[in-house]
């Protein structure tokens, strides 16, 4: 049943390939290549060092830094202990970071020198002061821990030990520490193993420019490493840099959020970049507009696959397979596909009753890899984990072919005059206007209807468009009550670290005027 029956924990992912295919490349960073055997040896040294520094069962090991070999080495090094690797967002303000450091109770934190000032500012606001291990490109973690044995640490790690703790983006409130176990990650690999759409080839290389503090990055990285696929490390997402690395490393696999796909295709270097080495582009993190996915399919010659998941899942719930990306059936391009093997979906109303096919409702998921809960937040855990089902907070529907569609977030849905309006539906129609680069739809106060539809729009370069023109375009594809009452043209959108548009921040000034806060 299992692809690698002897593999139980994340550290054993690397150990297996280090033993069976020791020379196979695991990490690529510029001109340097790290083999699986080398990766395993260095991770053992870091793991032994952490244990010598007092890391034991349940302890948190923090990480604050950009993408680098040290990140991947520390990630697996911690997996060799019974500690949990807790990745902090280096884009946060000091006060925000201080909250997470205090909440995590991390005993040791690896801090890259480029964010040292942020770290100092955060510590000044903290009552806790973990041991800090600084590193940079010269004084690497690999070098600092080289004095410890390269042999596997001599301790038993339970599959239910927490391996990774990630903080949610906080689009609707303060971030929560999502706990993910070794066994959960391994069971996620089992779901993927039974899925024929996943194909792994000798020589595959995955280019990863995603932020390391987000599940989209770590989840795909673990999936690739488990299957013996090398990772091409990009320091951070910059569309020009991604183009350069594609030209240099010739990766075969790419994963981006829709926002990143748009930025990549908009960059001047994209015109001269040869994307032909990429046989599969995966995208996730937020719904994609119909206009953008059609543009991407037309520009990038490889296949596309969408996946839908959550930090709480440790990976994907469902995928829209490459053969379902059919421009002759555009409606399917908006689907998040069907659940992976061993994963179940239900769509329910506000009372928890299943709704008829085609009717929107909240999506519930039952899967073998769901988080055991939020760190130190039993009440928040109880709200989303009920009777074995995870309550996603997403509004979804299922069509007659069995495909699922994420219609909106429950908290983003607009109720205008008693009618439910799903932002994604409006965004899809507006995105098809040739002058629209990006669009985000929100609900704003309205004295007559309670809420009114407002479109926030970023125009493509050298394009002009009036509010009246865009509203007229919307009337051609939407019922009257769904048509935006207002349009706001903007230069950029506020984003959460995962790359999603922060609708909470878009809505805030409009609701603040009415003395009301919307999450």
CATH number of the domain encompassing residue 433: 3.30.300.30
Q: Please report where in the chains the tokens 């640490």 appear, as a residue.
A: 153
Please say which residue of 344, 365, 396 terminates a domain.
Answer: 396
Residue 317 lies in a domain: yes
One domain, residues 159 and 218: yes
One domain, residues 461 and 437: yes
Mean pLDDT per block of 10 residues along the chain (519 residues) reads: 90 97 97 97 98 97 98 98 96 87 97 97 93 97 98 96 87 77 96 95 96 92 96 96 97 91 92 95 79 88 92 92 86 90 95 93 95 95 94 91 84 72 84 92 82 92 92 87 92 78 85 53
> CA nearest 190: which of 373, 368, 447?
368
Range of the domain at 269: 10-396
Tell me the DSSP string of 300-353.
Answer: --SEEEEEEEEGGGTEEEEEE-GGG--GGGGGGGG--BEEPTT-EEEEE-TTSP
Specify the pLDDT at position 488.
95
One domain, residues 89 and 189: yes
Into how many domains does the chain fold?
A: 2
Residue 496 lies in a domain: yes
Residue 110 lies in a domain: yes
One domain, residues 224 and 281: yes
Helix (H) or strand (E) holding 390: strand 389-398
DSSP 427: H
Tell me the DSSP string of 213-236.
Answer: TSHHHHHHHHHHHHTT-EEEE-SS
One domain, residues 384 and 466: no
Residue 258 lies in a domain: yes
pLDDT tens digits along 308-328:
998 898 899 999 999 998 888
CATH number of the domain where residue 318 is located: 3.40.50.12780
Neighbours of 255 (CB within 10 A): 25
Helix (H) or strand (E) holding 439: strand 436-446
Specify the pLDDT at position 507.
86
One domain, residues 290 and 434: no
One domain, residues 351 and 457: no
Q: What is the pTM of this model?
A: 0.82
Q: Cα separations (Å) of 486 from 422, 444, 445, 451?
A: 16, 9, 11, 12
Specify the pLDDT at position 171.
45
Specify the pLDDT at position 505.
86
Query: Residue 302, class by beta-carbon neighbours within 10 Å (0-12 exposed, 13-18 middle, 19+ buried)?
Result: middle
Specify the pLDDT at position 327.
80
One domain, residues 476 and 432: yes
Residue 272 lies in a domain: yes
Q: Cα separations (Å) of 469 from 201, 435, 437, 459, 475?
A: 49, 11, 15, 13, 10
Q: Is 106 helix (H, G, I), strand (E, B) or coil?
A: coil
């Amino acid at each position: 049943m299992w692809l690698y029956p002897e593999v139980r924990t994340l550290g054993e992912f690397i150990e297996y390939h280090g033993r069976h295919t020791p020379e196979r490349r695991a990490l690529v960073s510029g001109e340097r290549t790290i083999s699986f055997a080398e990766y395993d040896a260095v991770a053992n040294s870091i793991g032994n060092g952490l244990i010598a520094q007092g890391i034991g069962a349940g302890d948190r090991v923090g990480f604050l830094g950009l993408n680098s070999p040290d990140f991947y080495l520390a990630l697996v090094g911690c997996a060799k202990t019974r500690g949990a690797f807790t990745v902090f967002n280096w884009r946060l303000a000091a006060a925000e970071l201080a909250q997470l450091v205090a909440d995590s109770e991390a005993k040791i934190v690896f801090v890259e020198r480029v964010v040292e000032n942020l770290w100092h500012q955060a510590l000044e606001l903290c009552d806790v002061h973990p041991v800090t291990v600084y590193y940079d490109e010269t004084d690497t973690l690999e070098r600092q821990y080289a004095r410890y044995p390269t042999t596997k640490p001599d301790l038993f790690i339970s599959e239910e030990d927490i391996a990774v703790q990630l903080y949610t983006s906080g689009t609707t409130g303060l971030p929560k520490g999502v706990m993910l176990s070794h066994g959960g990650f391994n069971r996620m690999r089992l779901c993927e193993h039974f899925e024929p759409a996943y194909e792994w080839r000798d020589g595959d290389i995955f280019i990863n420019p995603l932020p390391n503090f987000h599940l989209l990055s770590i989840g795909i990285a673990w999936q690739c490493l488990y299957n013996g696929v090398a990772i091409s490390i990009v320091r951070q997402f910059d569309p020009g840099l991604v183009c350069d690395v594609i030209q240099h490393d010739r990766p075969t696999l790419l994963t981006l959020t829709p926002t990143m796909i748009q930025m990549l295709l908009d960059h001047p270097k994209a015109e001269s970049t040869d994307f032909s080495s990429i046989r599969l582009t995966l995208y996730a993190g937020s719904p994609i507009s119909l206009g953008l996915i059609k543009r991407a399919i037309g520009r990038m010659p490889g296949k596309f696959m969408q996946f839908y998941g959550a930090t709480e899942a440790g990976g994907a719930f469902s995928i829209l397979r490459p053969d379902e990306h059919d421009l002759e059936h555009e409606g399917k391009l908006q689907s998040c596909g069907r659940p992976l093997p061993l994963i179940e979906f239900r769509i329910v109303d506000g009372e928890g009753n299943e709704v008829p096919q085609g009717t929107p409702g909240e999506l519930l998921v039952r899967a073998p890899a769901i988080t055991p809960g939020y760190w130190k937040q039993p009440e928040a855990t109880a709200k989303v984990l009920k009777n074995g089902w995870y309550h996603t907070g997403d509004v979804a529907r299922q069509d007659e072919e069995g495909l699922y569609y994420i219609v909106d977030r429950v908290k983003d849905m607009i109720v205008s005059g008693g009618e439910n309006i799903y932002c994604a539906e409006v965004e899809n129609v507006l995105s098809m206007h040739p002058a629209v680069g990006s669009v985000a739809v929100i609900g704003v106060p309205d004295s007559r209807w309670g809420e009114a539809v407002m479109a926030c729009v970023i125009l493509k370069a050298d394009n002009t468009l009036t509010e009246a023109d865009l509203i007229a375009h919307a009337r051609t594809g939407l019922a009257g009550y769904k048509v935006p009452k207002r349009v706001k043209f903007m230069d950029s959108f506020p984003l959460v670290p995962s790359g999603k548009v922060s609708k909470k921040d878009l809505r805030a000034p409009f609701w603040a005027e009415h003395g009301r806060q919307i999450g």
